[in-house]
């Protein structure tokens, strides 16, 4: 049975760049976009025309206004960003999901771009890449009772690391690593997620655990003082660049 390598690393001191300097090229780098929800809520009405009927129906199913607005804003931001990379009208993009329920573009000639999206509390994060990619973010909730689920999802070494120091932050960082990798390989949180590694450095796994022959890199970073995220991507030495998105740029 063949082995694959999963590398976990921390990106500290992230440099969040402005949208005005982004080349919007997905050929040789992975771009991560940060959208602060509260700062962009006023733009939902400005871009409501680019959302398709299914997206609107999905958003309107939410009982809470905050959940509905977050869903609408995430779809608007995704369409606007993809439209720039593909030089297409964001309204004409056909967004769907594959057999693993992973979001994809269905338009002809758009297969060269991969993307993933995640949101929690105050932030939406979108990853754009030429390679398969998964991103997950979490609000570091100091009141979340996580100890009861540690044994189900983590190894003994991981549990020791989480409980050693700053336990809440370490738990949520580790969780985003597992979910980011699960999203990248397209199986959600199904499968042996307790075997998805989260400790920094290289881990070698039997290829059947992830059902892939590829090596992966998982990069974790802070989005804000209260939010942590992880990006999982095929190991191909791509540069990772971080951007802030203000939707007023598109007006």
Half-sphere exposure (Cβ direction) of 74: Cα atoms closer than 13 Å = 24
CA pair distance 112, 14, nearest whole angstrom? 27
Count the Cβ atoms, other than its own, within 10 Å of residue 14. Answer: 15
pLDDT digits (tens, 9 = 90+) for 10-33: 999 999 999 999 999 877 899 999
CATH topology for 3-250? Ribosomal Protein L22; Chain A (3.90.470)
- Nearest C-alpha neighbor of 238 from the set 26, 10, 38, 47: 26
User: Is the pLDDT reported for residue 100 higher than 80?
Assistant: no
pLDDT digits (tens, 9 = 90+) for 127-150: 999 999 999 999 999 999 999 999
Query: For residue 65, how far is the Cα from the chain centroid?
Result: 23
Q: Are strands 95-97 and 103-105 parallel, antiparallel or unpaired?
A: antiparallel
The pTM score is 0.94
What was the pLDDT predicted at 124? 97
Q: What integer best gives the mean pLDDT of the chain?
A: 92
Return the axis-axis angle of helices 53-60 and 65-86, rounded to nearest 10°. 160
- Nearest C-alpha neighbor of 49 from the set 88, 78, 81, 91: 91
């Amino acid at each position: 049975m063949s082995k694959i390598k999963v590398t976990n690393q921390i990106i500290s001191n992230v440099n969040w760049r402005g949208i005005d300097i982004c080349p919007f090229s997905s050929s040789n780098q992975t771009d991560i976009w940060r959208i602060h929800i509260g700062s962009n809520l006023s733009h939902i009405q400005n871009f409501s025309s680019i959302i398709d009927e299914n997206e609107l129906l999905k958003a309107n199913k939410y009982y809470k206004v905050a959940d509905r607005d977050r869903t609408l804003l995430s779809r608007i931001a995704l369409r606007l960003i993809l439209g720039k990379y593909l030089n297409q009208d964001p309204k004409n993009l056909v967004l769907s999901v594959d057999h693993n329920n992973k979001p994809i573009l269905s338009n002809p000639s758009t297969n060269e771009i991969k993307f993933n999206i995640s949101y929690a509390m105050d932030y939406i994060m979108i990853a754009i890449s030429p390679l398969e990619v998964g991103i997950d973010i979490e609000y570091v909730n100091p009141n979340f009772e996580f100890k009861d689920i540690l044994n189900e999802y983590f190894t003994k070494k991981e549990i020791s690391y989480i409980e050693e120091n700053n336990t809440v932050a370490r738990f949520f960082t580790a969780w985003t690593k597992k979910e980011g990798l699960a999203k990248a390989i397209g199986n959600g949180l199904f499968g042996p997620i307790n075997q998805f590694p989260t400790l920094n450095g290289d881990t070698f796994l039997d290829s059947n655990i992830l059902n892939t022959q590829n090596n992966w890199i998982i990069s974790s970073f802070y989005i804000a003082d209260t939010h942590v995220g992880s990006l999982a991507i095929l190991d191909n030495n791509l540069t990772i660049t971080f951007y802030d998105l203000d939707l007023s740029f598109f007006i």
